[in-house]
Structure 1
Amino acid sequence: MQEFDTPVVDNHLHLDPDHGRGLEAVKDFARSGGTHLLVVNKPSWLLGHEVETGEDFRPVFETTVEVVREASELLPGRAWPVLGVHPGLVSKLVDDRGYDPEAARDLMCAGLDTAAEFVREGDALALKSGRPHYEVTDAVWEASNAVLRHGLDLAADCDCALQLHTESTTDLSDVAEWADERGVPGERVVKHYAQGHLTGGTPSVMSDKDRLEDAAERGDPFFMETDFIDDPDRPGAVMGPKTVPRRVDWLLDAGRDDAVRNAHVETPASVYGIDTEATLDR
C-alpha cells in the first residue's frame, strides 16, 4: 500500500453501493495512498428515486451517509458526506415529467431543505447545488439560479460550505455576490469540476496535470477531485478513484510540497473546518 507523509483528499466523488463499485472503489483509493474522501450523493434519478416531495430525497441522502460510514472504516483518515440536489434534475422534471420551471424550482429547494437537516444534525459536512452546465431556456436558468441562491441561504443558516455544479467557467463573481449578501464566506463557495483557477470561490480542480500545474503555480487555495461517478455503465467516465493519490505523488516528485499541503490540509481546514492531519491514523 502506498503511503505519503500527508493527507490525500479527494474532494468530490460518488459511491453507489447498490449499482456501482462502492466500497471496492474506496479500497482502491486507500491502497493508492488516499486518506480522506468527500462523498457527494449521486443524482436522485440514478439511484432509482423519482422524487415528488422534499422528503423523497431522504433515502438518497441516507444511502450516502451509510456508505460514508462504511468507507471511513476502510480509510486511514475518514470520509464525509456532501448532500444536495443535482442541478440537472431541473431538466428531468421540466422536459421529461412536465413540471413548469417554478414547480421544479420548489421541489429542488425542498430537497435542499432535507439535505440541510443532515448538516444541522452533524450527519453531513456540506451542501451541494448549482445550475445547468448546458443550454436551457431563460425560465429554467432563472429557476436554477433561485435554487442555487436557496442553497446559499441554507449554507448561511447551517454555517457550512456549498459545493456547486455549474457551467464551465473561471468566473463565479455573480455567485460570490449572492454569497456575500447572505454572509457566506467566499471561500465556502466551492466549484466542482473546476479549472486551475477561479474568481468568486474555491476551485475543486479536476486532477489532470495541466489544471493542477496552473493551481500549484498560482498558490491560491484549491482542492483536488476526480468526480468518480461509480457507474458500471460508464466505466471510463471522468476519473478513477486512484487518480488523486497518483497526482499527489506526481506533485511531490515535482517538488510541489506546498501545493499538496494547500490542497489537502490548508484548504480543507479553511473551507470545511476539518483537520485532515488530526483525523489521520497511520
Structure 2
Amino acid sequence: MEDLGTPVLDNHLHLDPAHGRGVDAVRDFRRLGGTHLLVVNKPSWLLGVDAERGDDFRAVFDETLSAVADADAELPGRAWPVLGVHPGLVTRLTDDKGFSPGDARDLMQAGLDAAAEYVREGEALALKSGRPHYEVSDAVWDASNDVLKHALSLGADLDCPVQLHTEATDDLTEIAEWAEERGLPAEKVVKHYAGGTLAGPTPSVMSEKDRLQRAAAEGAPFLMETDFVDDPDRPGAVLGPKTVPRRVRWLLEEGLDDAVENAHVETPRRVYGVDTRDTLSR
C-alpha cells in the first residue's frame, strides 16, 4: 500500500456492492494511497427503488450505509455517508410517472426529511441535493429550487453540510445567499463536479489536472473528487477510484504541497468538521 505522507480524501464517489465493484474499488483507492472517502448514495432508481413516499428512500440510504461500513473497514482513515435525493429524480417523476412538479417536489422533500434523520442520529455526515443540470420547464425548475432550498434549511437545522449537484457554472452566489439566509454558512454548501474556481459555495473539484491547477492557483478552499459511479455498464464513466491518490501524488511532485493540505486536511475540517489526520491514527 502506497503512503503519500498525507491524508487523501475523495469527496464524492458512489459504491454499489450489489451491481458494481463495491469494496474492490475501495481497495484500489487504498492501494494507491487513498485514506478517506465520502460515499454518496446512488440515485434511487438505479438501485431499483421506485419511491412513492419519503420513507421509501430509506432502502437506498440503508444500502449506502452498509457499503460505507465495508469501506470503512478497508481504509486507514474513514469513510462517511452522504445521503439525499438526486435532483434528476424530478424528471423521472414528471415525465415518466405523471407527477405534477408540485407533487414531485413534495416527494423529494420528504426523501430529504428521511435522509436528515440519519444525520440527526449521527449515521451520516452530510446531505445531498441540487437541481437539474439540463433544460427543464419553468415549473420543474421552480420545484427543483424549492427542493434545494429545503435541503439548505435542513442543513442549517442540523448544522451539517449539503452537497449539491447542479448545472455547470463557476458562479453559485445566489445559492450561497439562499444558504446564508437560512442560517447555513456558504462554505458548508459544496458543489460537486466543480471546475477549478467557484464563487459562492465550496467547490469539489473533479480531479482532472487542468481543474486542479486552477484550484491550486486560486488558493481558496476546495475538495477533490472522482464521482466514480461504480456501474459495470459504464466502466469508463467519469473518473476511476485510483484517480484522487494519483492526482495527489502529481500535485506533490509539482511542489503543490499547500494545495494538497488545503484539499485533504484544511477544507474537510472547515466544511465537515472532520480531522483527516487524527482519524488516520485510529
**Length-normalised TM-score, structure 2:** 0.99
Q: Counterpart of 1:143? A: 143
Q: Report the residue type matching 1:258 in the other structure.
A: D
Q: Does 1:177 align with 2:177?
A: yes
Residue aligning to 2:212: 212
Q: Which residue of 1 aligns with 2:278?
A: 278
Structure 1: any 5+ residue segments left out of the alignment? none
2:226 equivalent to 1:221: no
Aligned to 1:101: 101
In the other structure, the counterpart of 1:156 is 156
* SS in structure 1 of the partner of residue 10 of structure 2: strand
Runs of 4+ in 1 over 6 A off after TM superposition: none
The residue correspondences of 1:235-254 to structure 2 (distance < 5 A) are: 235-254=235-254
User: How far does the alpha carbon of each residue in 1:59-108 deviate from its partner, in whole angstroms, 9 at most, with x for none?
Assistant: 10001111101111100001000000000000000001100100000000
**Partner Cα separation in structure 1 for residue 39 and residue 182 of structure 2:** 26
Query: 2:166 matched to 1:166?
Result: yes
2:89 maps to amino acid: L
- CA positional deviation for 1:140: 0.2
Post-superposition CA distance 1:7-47 (Å, at most 9, x none): 00000000001011000000000001000000000000000
Q: Structure 2: state its 5+ residue gaps.
A: none
Could you tell me how far 1:281 is from its partner in structure 2? 3.4
How far apart, CA to CA, are the structure 1 residues paired with 2:29 and 2:143? 37
Q: What is residue 86 of structure 1 aligned with on the other side?
A: 86
Q: Distance in 1 between matches of 2:5 and 2:31?
A: 15
Distance, in Å, in 2 between the alignment partners of 1:31 and 1:195 is: 27
Match status 1:233 vs 2:233: yes
For these two proteins, the number of residue pairs brought into alignment is: 282
Say what the alpha-carbon RMSD is for the aligned residues: 0.7
Distance in 1 (CA, whole Å) between partners of 2:65 and 2:275 is 20
| CA distances 1:138-191 after superposition (whole Å, capped 9, x unpaired) | 000000000000000100011000000000001001101101101101100100
What amino acid does structure 2 have at the position aligned with 1:68? V
SS in 2 for 1:280: helix
Between the aligned partners of 1:155 and 1:183, the Cα distance in structure 2 is 9
Matched ranges for 1:128-139 at <5 A: 128-139=128-139
Identity of aligned residues (%): 71
Alignment partners' CA distance in 2, 1:276 and 1:176: 26
